[in-house]
């Protein structure tokens, strides 16, 4: 069991006793658990076993395509119907969609009720559960509407990962790789050698990744500067994910970010920050883990138009978080459109 003390809340890893004590200490007038059909089936029984407080369950469909204002309206209506007041508590039991959307609903209901994050996927445990970013997709754009609000606590149970299919674990692995690339070369070296979550100490890897994100987000809670480095791989990745979201072959978030990591590693090379050997090491590692899917970086023009809506941009110029070196990152790097197009070509090449 590990514990991470953040500025306004604590992150507990594999500690059901701390979870129950925290809920009791909050003294909520009522408790609501937000789940999707997967966490309702595989994870909810653990709350029945460990949570002493009675609670109401609100169930939403799983998947990024349901991370919308329409789903929020359903959640808000369920809170109203069941008498939720300003002393109520929302427990978000699920992956990134449940955590982002549930936190957003809680933070805006009656101008804000308390909420607790219980992330159940590797991706949400090492990424979405930390830093207070909440929100929903809008008009096909990722996380276009949202806010930053800290939870009352984060409770991570790595046993939940045993319920996940392999593609979901691989999706979360992309964030572990990203954290190593931007902040800890030793972590990157270990993960790139291993190329799979199998054989790793999961609790330790989650803890190390959380510490990287905690350090960055506490230094820049409102994403005015340093926190932008956490977006490495995401400018291209979010564009790819958004474009293909409603297709017959959508990508998981981590799969899209993996493509983005290759593209943005190329941009880091082109601006002179990393060597050619380091670039190909990153590319080969990503392709070994995620395979090679060149169709997803087409059509170039449409992807770049989506990238122009990225929140890091200024005055119509596309800005990136890039590698300054392997294990270090920089932010607000403006890149020419023709160089971005080169990065797509680099990913497409067979090597």
Catalytic residues: 111, 133, 175, 213, 223, 227, 231, 234, 238, 253
Q: Residue holding tokens 């919308």?
A: 68
Rounded CA-CA distance 206/245 in Å is 28
Burial (0-12, 13-18, 19+ Cβ within 10 Å), 311:
middle
What is the Rg, in whole angstroms, of the alpha carbon atoms belonging to the chain? 20
Give the list of residues 6+ apart from residue 189 with CB closer than 8 angstroms, or none. Answer: 180
The secondary structure of residue 152, as a DSSP letter, is: S
Q: What size, in residues, is the chain?
A: 351
Q: Which of 101, 77, 100, 82 is nearest to 32 (CA)?
A: 82
Count of CA atoms in the C-beta half-sphere (13 A) of 188: 20
How much of the chain is in helix, strand and coil states, percent to nearest 5? 55, 20, 30
Give the list of residues 6+ apart from residue 349 with CB closer than 8 angstroms, or none. Answer: none
Cα–Cα distance list, 337 to 12, 267, 343, 345, 351 (Å) = 43, 11, 10, 13, 24
DSSP per-residue letters across 14-35: S-HHHHHHHHHHH--S-EEEEE
Q: Which pair of structure tokens corresponds to residue 350?
A: 């067979």
Q: Facing residues of 148 across strands?
A: 133
């Amino acid at each position: 069991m590990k514990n991470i003390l953040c500025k306004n809340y604590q992150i507990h890893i594999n500690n059901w006793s701390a979870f129950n004590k925290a809920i009791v200490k909050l003294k909520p007038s009522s408790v609501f658990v937000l789940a999707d059909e997967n966490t309702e089936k595989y994870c909810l029984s653990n709350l029945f076993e460990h949570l002493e407080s009675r609670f109401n369950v609100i169930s939403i469909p799983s998947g990024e395509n349901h991370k919308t204002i329409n789903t929020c309206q359903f959640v808000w209506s369920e809170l109203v119907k069941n008498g939720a007041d300003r002393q109520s508590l929302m427990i978000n039991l699920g992956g990134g969609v449940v955590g982002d959307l549930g936190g957003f609903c809680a933070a805006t209901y009656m101008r804000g009720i308390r909420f607790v994050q219980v992330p159940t996927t590797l991706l949400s445990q090492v990424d979405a559960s930390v830093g207070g970013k909440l929100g929903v997709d809008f008009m096909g754009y990722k996380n276009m509407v949202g806010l930053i609000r800290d939870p009352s606590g984060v409770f991570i149970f790595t046993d939940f990962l045993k319920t996940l299919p392999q593609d979901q674990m691989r999706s979360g692995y992309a964030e572990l790789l990203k954290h190593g690339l931007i902040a800890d070369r030793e972590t990157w070296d270990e993960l790139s050698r291993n190329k799979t979550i199998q054989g790793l100490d999961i609790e330790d890897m989650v803890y190390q990744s959380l510490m990287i994100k905690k350090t960055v987000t506490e230094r820049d809670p409102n994403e005015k500067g340093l926190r932008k480095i956490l977006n490495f791989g995401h400018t291209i990745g979010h564009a790819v994910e958004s474009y293909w979201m409603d297709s017959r072959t959508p990508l998981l978030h981590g799969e899209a970010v993996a493509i983005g990591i290759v593209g943005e590693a190329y941009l880091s090379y082109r601006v002179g920050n990393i060597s050619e050997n380091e670039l190909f090491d990153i590319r080969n590692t990503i392709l070994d883990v995620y395979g090679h899917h060149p169709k997803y970086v087409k059509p170039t023009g449409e992807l770049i138009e989506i990238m122009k809506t990225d929140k890091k941009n200024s005055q119509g110029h596309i800005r990136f978080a890039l590698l300054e070196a392997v294990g270090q990152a920089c932010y607000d790097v403006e890149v020419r459109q023709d160089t971005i197009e080169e990065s797509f070509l680099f990913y497409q090449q067979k090597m």
